[in-house]
Chains A and B, each alone.
Chain A
Amino acid sequence: MTYLVLIIGFLLLVLIGAAIYAVYQRDLLYAVIATGIISLVLTALFYILQAPDVALTEAAIGVALTTIIFIITIKNTVRFEDESDKNNQQKPKTE
Chain B
Amino acid sequence: MKKTIVILLLAAFGYFLAITFLDPDFEKDRNRNGVKNVYLEKTVSELKTANTVTAIVVNFRGFDTLGEVTVLFLAASALGSILFKKRHHVGERSITLPASSIVSTGAKLLFPAIILLGVYVFVHGHLTPGGGFQGGTIIATGFLLMLISYRNFSISHNILSVIESLAGILFVVIGLMGFINGGTFLQNFMPTGTLNNLFSGGIIPIIYILVGFKVATELTGLIYTILHEKG
Which positions in A face B, CB cutoff 8 Å? Answer: 52-53, 55-57, 60-61, 64-65, 68-69, 71-72, 75-76
Contacts and interface: CB of A to CB of B under 8 A. Distances in A.
Contacts of A72: 95, 226-227
B95 A64 contact: no
Interface residues of B, number: 24
Contacts of A52: 129
Contacts of A57: 133-134, 137
A60 B201 CA distance: 26
Contacts of B148: 68
Nearest to A63: B141
Given A53-B53, A56-B121, A68 B95 contact: no
Contacts of A60: 134, 137-138, 140-141
Nearest to A60: B137
B121 A76 contact: no
Contact of B226 (A55, A64, A69): A69
Tell me the dominant secondary structure on chain A's binding face. helix
Given A68-B223, A72-B227, A53 B144 contact: no
Interface of B: 51, 53-54, 94-95, 97, 121, 129-131, 133-134, 137-138, 140-141, 144, 148, 219, 223, 226-227, 229, 231
Nearest to A51: B53
A64 B144 contact: yes
A42 B181 CA distance: 43
Nearest to A52: B129
Contacts of A69: 223, 226
A65 B219 CA distance: 9
B129 A64 contact: no
A20 to B, nearest CB: 14
Nearest to B136: A60
Given A53-B54, A64-B144, 10 more contacts: A55-B129, A57-B133, A60-B134, A60-B140, A65-B137, A69-B223, A72-B95, A75-B95, A76-B95, A76-B229
A51 to B, nearest CB: 8
Nearest to B140: A65
Contacts of B223: 65, 68-69
